[in-house]
Amino acid sequence: MLLKLLVACTGGPTVIQPNGTIVLDLVNPTPADPWDGVDQVRIEVWVEGQSVSSETFDVDDTMELPDLDAFGTGRFHVAGLAGGNVVSYGRSPEVVLAPDTDRNVAMTFLPVNQVLPILDTMAQPRSQHGALRLPDNRVLLLGGADPERSQSFDDIEIYDPAEGIFQPTGSYLPVPLYDMHLSLSAERTIWLNGGRVLLGDGPRSQAVFFEYDPISGQIDMATDMNVPRADHCFTEFRDNFGVAMGGNRDTSSVDYLRPDPDTGEWTWSEVVISGLDQTAVTGCATLPGGEVYLQGVSESSTGLFDFSEDAAAANPNLSDAFYAVESGTYELLEGAMIIPIGEEQVWVGAGRTTGGSSSTTGRVFDVPTRSFVGGVDPSRERVDGRWDAWIEEGWYALGCGSPDGDDSRSQTTVELINLTTGERYPYLEGDRARPGCSITVQADGALLITGGFESGGGAEDGAAVVVPYDPI
């Protein structure tokens, strides 16, 4: 089989022909020139995690990769070289390589390790908004608050990495929310619950719960939670079973979500869970087996919630599903990032101690022992930071957040780190301070930073993007 590769040095496209044609569109949504100084181009093809082809060409050459017969799931990597050094880079999303296949695949191609503003303008100058990558690789952005924290937004827009532009959806939230909980349901729809609305007398927590279908644009209102919640934990820890806790100090009950057996409509109920101080729960992470790690500011709000199918079969009493942490010498944290890193471990890092000091420590909650063990340390203070899983196993992008817990201040840096081995990419300095921003990993490995506005700012430079590259 002949795989033929053509690169147009003005920015794409890249054409690959394995008895069909795959066109890699090199997308640059920024004002930077990724071809500045480039004298050679290196093309790599990775299939099933292994490099199957790597060739370097002069920038003006016709580029062909002959006799390539690898098929499977792979990525294409394009590097722009100047004097032998990689100065620009791009990875494709995962694609299925098969004979007689024609398709277009977009990849962000930029100068490496530079956080660059996106030229297109967001619909709103949003901070503390929702951001989530959809199954079709576009990024959903919704809600948020304005720079002065005087109003919140109800609109929904999409960032399309294939074109580097923001697109309104024409859909609107039932209420203008920020600090809401946003997650992808088992049915691949978007669940939103809780959060805050900015009113004339200030922020007010909400009990709302609704479902958004990004394909149809339809929003279905479901029944509200029993109490308003913000800065809380919500998780669908097994199919058709969710739980919300924390974010409300006026109740001792946890809200749980099930479909009504007669109508199939989602219904919230409440229960008091023995030994759990739900008022002090600030976040959670769900493990593959359905166990939920709870992060709180006390030992009675930190530990393991386990009502997975196996646990429920052994003890069907939901009120007995909490097991407190054995904290040992580790201080409890608030505003920390909480990331499941394996079948039975959760990384907890940065944030702030209950004494008010910012933290640059990481620790791992070990499910079998319900205790903390040593973990990889983050490089910077990051209270209420955001994170997303990167495209390689074990790697995570950490960004946004505040260095000291003041939400008008912003940690400007981004780090890409392996939370198992401690390996790190070069540290990335942001394009500007972005208090209340969000970080999302695109399917091609580029890091999208959205929103985060200082007082007096508009929607220009509403987002930035960076292609990370490790020269080692």
pLDDT for res 20? 63
Residues 6+ apart with CB under 8 A from 283: 231, 232, 233, 246, 294, 295, 336, 338
d(CA 129, CA 125): 10
State yes or no: pLDDT of 5 exceeds 50. Answer: no
**What is the DSSP code string of 233-273?**
EEEEEETTEEEEE-S-SS--PEEEEEE-TTT--EEEEEEPP
pTM of the model: 0.94
pLDDT for res 314? 95
pLDDT for res 105? 83
DSSP label of 310? H
State yes or no: pLDDT of 366 exceeds 50. Answer: yes
State yes or no: pLDDT of 97 exceeds 90. Answer: no
Residue predicted with more confidence, 70 or 307? 307
Greatest CA separation found in the chain?
70
d(CA 455, CA 149): 9
In the chain, the N- to C-terminal Cα span, in Å, equals 33
pLDDT for res 388? 97
Smallest CA-to-CA distance from 366 within 393, 420, 326, 423 is with: 326
**What confidence tens digit (pLDDT) does each residue in 164-202 have?**
999 999 999 999 999 999 998 888 889 999 999 998 778
d(CA 162, CA 155): 22
Residue 325 · residue 302 · CB < 8 Å: yes
State yes or no: pLDDT of 6 exceeds 50. Answer: no
d(CA 61, CA 206): 60
**Cβ–Cβ contacts within 10 Å for residue 431, how many?**
18
pLDDT for res 287? 96
pLDDT for res 19? 60
**What is the DSSP code string of 63-91?**
-EETT----EEEEEEEEEEETTEEEEEEE
β-strand pairing of 50-58 with 85-91 = unpaired
DSSP label of 432? S
**Cβ–Cβ contacts within 10 Å for residue 100, how many?**
7
pLDDT for res 274? 96
State yes or no: pLDDT of 14 exceeds 60. Answer: no
**What confidence tens digit (pLDDT) does each residue in 377-394 have?**
999 999 999 999 999 999
pLDDT for res 17? 52
Q: Give me the mean pLDDT over the 91-107 stretch.
A: 83
**What confidence tens digit (pLDDT) does each residue in 76-86 have?**
999 999 999 99
Rg (Cα) of the chain, in Å, rounded? 23
Length of the chain equals 472
pLDDT for res 15? 53
d(CA 373, CA 364): 5
Range picked from 53-57, 93-97, 290-294 for highest mean pLDDT: 290-294
State yes or no: pLDDT of 227 exceeds 90. Answer: yes
Percent of the chain past pLDDT 90, that is, above it, reads 70
For the chain, the average pLDDT equals 90
In the chain, what are the domains?
Answer: 3-111 (2.60.40)
Q: Give me the mean pLDDT over the 212-225 stretch.
A: 88
